[in-house]
Amino acid sequence: MLAYILKGAMHDEPLPAEKEVIVHQYGLLNPFDWTEDCTSELERMHAFKGRLVEIEHEYRISFDRLLERDPNLRNARQILDEHIRALSACDLSAIGEMEAFKLIPRAGQEHSGSTPERRLTALRIQVAEAYRVARKNFKDDLNNLELERRDQVKAARQQSGLWWGNYNAVIKAFEQGRRVSVLTRGVMRVEPFDGTGRFTNQIQGGISVESLVSGENIQVRVAPVPADAWSHSSRGERRRLQRTQLTATIFVRDGMRRMVTWPMIMHRPLPENVRIKEVVVSRARLDDRWLWSVVFVCTRTRVIKLGSAAAATVIAIDPGWRRTKTGLRVATIVRATGETEYFELSNRLVQAFRFADELRDRHNVLLANLRMLVSKLTAFQQAKIAGVGEACIDPANLRLPSDFRRLAELWSLDSDYDQRLVAQISHASVEYKRLYLWERNHTRKILNHRDKLYQELAVRVLKDANEILLHKIEIVEMNNNHIEAGRNGFVPDASNWYRKTAAISSLEHWMHNKGKRLGLRFKYIKSIYRQSCPSCGAFDRKNRADTLMYICAHCDHTWDRDWGTCRMMLKDHSSTT
């Protein structure tokens, strides 16, 4: 970066730039000229989405059948299923909830060498490895299967009768949901059509705000708004002046363009110097009325502002997961100028992560009890369950609250089932749903809060830097080396919980992305430095290497271990440059 700054100053080269995406949303009122043909277009989009889900289900069935031909994967899955059934068959209610709670390993606690959870984890790793090998062995067949799926999607798109802007939006949303379902091993579903949906106008090449207001584009336009609509001294007058109208394309059929107009409150102006690439009009149901909104997706070129050569600096960052009295230290940041910062997650946030684990433990205990109740069904009753789908045959496959609720509703209508058992499942499923949603929402909030803290740290730390030295901790490699040497894992079970809470990979992600946007150089350092005393330069210490504060054996000087790592990285960098 420093060389680039000097070169740019000498030859007057343009500064680097990047594309920036800006999204603005506005509220709409009920349209003036909405008719039944517009609702029919929404129904076509919903039917097209349903067809895509059907194609996906068929693809996954063929995908699984193809991989099941691999004997190693089939045997690994069979062993894993037997182990899960054995765990589910354990009657937790017979030993009481508190004893069952103790059987589930808790985060932050040390475990014995062979626990049911460790055995389950080992079996899942074996299945994952067999799965990767099977995919490699059947690579050509899987590629042909994917090509067949894409041909079916193309045929469904051609038969849908949709306008290209709408079917492209449906396919894009479906592919995003498909990626999530593959990662989470979920099942894609389509809710019944209730009139909700959205219309998408993709503007090739984009248009300027001036073209949008002047009506030059035939797809979408907005009526002009007075210049003082956002600056008038009276709030009521501003609201009145911000009233305008949006006209957008719903579909094009047989060469005829169907346009609809909505009253719109433009509460803020669109940014200057942007290109409007997409306009999405959405309709959502709220009780007996509709809520309308429009989203403008814009792009613009943002020039990266580089600091001067004098202000440029090198920063060393040592991530980790060190518990302190004030919180959980996740990063030590030392600048070449000598400024030091210790970034910590507060004790309150750490306790929030512990509470999430407690909720997960309680929810797992209740899940095991529900599976135990389902497993008490007779063979005759199990045959009846097969009528609602293969996923409900094995209690180990039941996890969502809706799975148990639907089964309870089904069994309550049949007198052949033990209604006492059905009532227990119905009652427990209500409590399970409460814990399930509580744990999921609480976890989502604390994860978002942690990511926001990491994002703000990256913005604040990297704004005046030109090069980043990042201590790269290879957990898997270190752990494997320790195991091969006949020792326990590199990360003990007691501190493994803090490692997961700190999620230093997320911190590195935000640092890397922000640094890439700013055009910074990143240097990843994997070596573990032997630290010398900052005072006398000696390498001998009085205390162990895993303590936080080091004490020199010669001069009794004390320094922070994490700070010492950053200091050695900066010292090594300065000597090589």
- Tell me what the pLDDT averaged over the chain comes to: 80
Whether the predicted model's global pTM rises above the 0.75 cut = no
* Residues 65, 69, 72, 74, CA torsion sign: positive
Per-residue model confidence (pLDDT) at position 310: 39
Per-residue model confidence (pLDDT) at position 1: 32
- By the 8 A CB rule, do 195 and 42 touch? yes
Q: Is 461 helix (H, G, I), strand (E, B) or coil?
A: helix
**pLDDT(112) > 50:** no
Torsion angle defined by CA atoms of residues 476, 477, 479 and 484, in that order, rounded to the nearest 10 degrees: 130
Torsion angle defined by CA atoms of residues 128, 132, 137 and 139, in that order, rounded to the nearest 10 degrees: 130
Per-residue model confidence (pLDDT) at position 388: 43
**pLDDT(5) > 70:** no
**pLDDT(378) > 60:** no
Q: Which residue has the higher pLDDT, 222 or 311?
A: 222
Q: Which residue has the higher pLDDT, 542 or 412?
A: 412
Q: Report pLDDT digits (tens) over 262-313.
A: 999 999 999 888 999 999 999 998 878 899 999 999 998 865 544 444 345 8
User: In this structure, what DSSP letter does residue 536 have?
Assistant: T
Per-residue model confidence (pLDDT) at position 17: 57
Biggest CA pair distance of the chain? 89
Q: Report pLDDT digits (tens) over 152-195.
A: 999 999 999 899 989 999 999 999 989 888 877 778 888 888 88
Per-residue model confidence (pLDDT) at position 297: 94
User: In this structure, what DSSP letter does residue 387 have?
Assistant: G
**pLDDT(471) > 50:** yes
Q: Report pLDDT digits (tens) over 12-68.
A: 444 455 677 889 999 999 999 999 999 999 999 999 999 999 999 999 999 989 988
Q: Which of 525, 533, 516 is nearest to 570 (CA)?
A: 525
Percent of the chain, pLDDT > 90?
31
User: Between the ranges 219-223, 503-507, 511-515, where is the mean pLDDT highest?
Assistant: 219-223
- By the 8 A CB rule, do 157 and 167 touch? yes
